[in-house]
Amino acid sequence: MAKQRVAVDVGGTFTDVCVFDEDTRSIRVTKVPSTPDDPMRAVLDGVERGGIDLAEVSLFSHGTTVATNALITRNFQPAAMVTTTGFRDVIEIRDGTKDDLWDAYHDVAPPYIRRRDRFEVAERIDYAGRVVTPLDEVAARRTAALLRKRGARTVAVCFVNSYVNPAHEIRMREILEEELPGVAVSTSAEILPEIFEHDRFNTTVANTVLAPLVSGYVDRLAKELAAGGYRGDLLLLHSGGGSMTPRMVERYPVRLAASGIAAGAIAARHVAAQCGYANAIGLDMGGTSTDIAMVHGGELRVTKEWSVEYGYPIIFPSIEVLTIGAGGGSIAHIDEAGSLRNGPQSAGASPGPACYGAGGTEPTNSDANLVLNRLGTSLAGGAKLLSPEPAERAILDRVAQPLGLALEDAASAVLQVANANMADAVRLISIRRGYDPRDFALIAFGGAGALHGAEVARELNIPTVVVPPNPGVTSALGCLLVDIRHDLSAMFDAVGDQADGEEFENAFAGLEAEASARLQHEGVRAEDALLQRTVSMRYLGQWRSLTVKCGSGPGSLREAIELFHEQHEREYSFRRDETPVQIYQLGLTAIGVTPKPVVAPYEVAPGAAPAARQNRKVYFDGPGWVDTPVHERAALRAGCRLDGPAVIEQLDATTIVPPDSRAEIDEWLNIRIHLTEA
């Protein structure tokens, strides 16, 4: 019988592989360089390097950047949009805002589908779902003929009020499928049956342009795994923190945008719960960027307003992750005013930081860490060797000499700016929302998270940093911790205390029937299915809404309204119990529970850490160069304690324990760093 579960997470620099053995309840990991031109090659390379026999694999889970990269690079196959007469430019007009309010010359990126590929067809349904103008089927077939001539591979059908009555969109899809055999069609009523055509149209368009690329990638990978002996479904992590089978990816490829980002947040929540922290901040610092997520009360924050590019929202529930351009490859530079900056530009995987010796000349965070001896000269178990000389030259030429600093001071300044950027990002998701970082633990992971975690925590007065056993592949572990999940929604307009209870329950019953059908389609057994209700509400007269959990039964709506008041007070520091609450939208999360890896804890034997493998001079702000022990992480057993400064090295990451701090290894082999000053 298959006894292994495998997770693969594709990052910008490395592809991480995590293997859980069900017999020994142990985890092993490996890393291989990513292959941006074809991410599947890195996945298969990781399987080979990890010595994985696919015939022995019971579950294969995958977090992928294919969808995200496609939206960023706009490497799409020919796509088109069909919409109601007069609504051709909705996705170009957007909501009229821009990401840089004060730059009159800065334009938002163009829509994913060009204007010349957007077509109008006469039809109209009013706000109540009544047909005002029937669909012009003659014009619809004429449009289909034109799309056939242009070679469209996929089509988005976006009619203005289809969310309340999808009849015209359904008929338009039928016509397109008759006239254009083999072309994928996405309808806005199926993708996102919600009001606000800007949000609905853009989500549908994103789904449309991704369909051929993502479906093709998933299909190829599934066939390669099957050829290697894997007999199960390939599970793909989506942005909402669940997974999908290839059958559902064909219908909703846009859900794979931000796939890999969600994996890290899920892993951070798992590590925090394992260590007994209900409140935690995940700091996932990789080669290109840092992803920051917040866990409060054991739950991750979820948002429905996010985008890969500003102005083009994807309105599917997504784990709220703040991403900034701060990674090992982030480039330090001096701006026009003479100030030192760090990122968001990155050296990427090719040519990479100067220390890679592959032609890079710009100073990066990895170069600064190497110059300060915080980083050794070997990464990923020798797969990547680092050269100090190019790193020193890059920092001297681009930072030290222009600013009149010594080499080590310049390298330290580079890291201080990077740490300040990450600390500011943490403040945005915590202090700005009424949460005190001092009440949280910092879960530091990713290839570079353990290098910077303690200093970021000190900047925020966070008392404890937790570094997981395999920080560089922790995101891949997150892929093993997710369930199959679908998120459905329906509009429901009523004032809370006046809502028709029967109508309210019937609306949820319709969502639950659709959810059960989806889970059944994916092979989820009835006993493994879980349905969770939510209600979006707002004070009558407000514009923005808050989403709260909702139970079932006679008192469920009243309880949800009280929960809304409490959450509104937390988010905005006030509540208005006397003000009527308006129900805006119903939501349903359908979960198909999958088996989770249960790792056996280790026996704790308190005591000092074993002798260091070596000592080397490491530079720290304040004391300067300090003779610092370098430990091999594999030698640190549960219960070991050591005082900073210390460097702890392993296959996938390097951990820094700064002066004035102490570290201990817990029963799960996490490193817990306690900052004395904090």
CA distance 481 to 591: 13
For the whole model, what pTM was predicted?
0.82
Between 289 and 338, the higher pLDDT residue: 338
Name the fold adopted by 484-592.
Dna Ligase; domain 1 (3.30.1490)
Residue 621 buriedness (CB in 10 A; 0-12 / 13-18 / 19+): middle
Domain 259-327+418-479, classified CATH 3.30.420.40, yes or no: yes
Per-residue pLDDT tens digits for 342-397: 988 888 777 889 999 888 899 999 999 999 999 988 776 666 788 999 999 999 99
Q: Are 628 and 349 in contact (CB under 8 A)?
A: no
Mean pLDDT computed over 174-200: 93
The pLDDT score that the predictor gives to residue 75 is 82
Tokens 């006993």: give the residue: 527
Mean pLDDT computed over 140-159: 95
Residues 6+ away with beta carbon under 8 Å from 569: 575
Q: Are 243 and 232 in contact (CB under 8 A)?
A: no
Please state the domain extents for the chain. 71-214, 259-327+418-479, 330-415, 484-592
The chain-wide mean pLDDT, for the chain, equals 90
**Which of 59-63, 167-171, 405-409, 674-678 has the least mean pLDDT?**
674-678
Instruction: Look at residues 257, 162, 236 and name the one whose alpha carbon lies nearest to residue 201.
Output: 162
Residues 6+ away with beta carbon under 8 Å from 40: 217, 220, 221, 224
With a cut of 60, say whether residue 1 has pLDDT above it: no
By percentage, how much of the chain surpasses pLDDT 70?
Answer: 98
Q: Are 401 and 674 in contact (CB under 8 A)?
A: no
With a cut of 50, say whether residue 659 has pLDDT above it: yes
Q: The sheet that has 118-121: what strands, in order across it? A: 118-121, 79-84, 154-158, 184-187
Mean pLDDT computed over 229-255: 88
Mean pLDDT computed over 109-124: 95
With a cut of 60, say whether residue 678 has pLDDT above it: no
Pairing mode, strands 581-592 and 529-539: antiparallel
Tokens 């163009």: give the residue: 110
CA distance 482 to 53: 23
By percentage, how much of the chain surpasses pLDDT 90?
Answer: 58
The pLDDT score that the predictor gives to residue 484 is 86
The pLDDT score that the predictor gives to residue 383 is 64
CA distance 224 to 217: 11
The pLDDT score that the predictor gives to residue 68 is 83
The pLDDT score that the predictor gives to residue 474 is 87
Per-residue pLDDT tens digits for 432-446: 888 999 999 999 998
Per-residue pLDDT tens digits for 15-57: 888 898 888 888 888 888 888 788 899 999 999 998 999 999 9
**384-to-14, 31, 389, 450, 474 alpha-carbon distances in Å:** 11, 11, 16, 18, 20
The pLDDT score that the predictor gives to residue 210 is 93
Per-residue confidence band for 455, with pLDDT thresholds at 50, 70 and 90:
very high
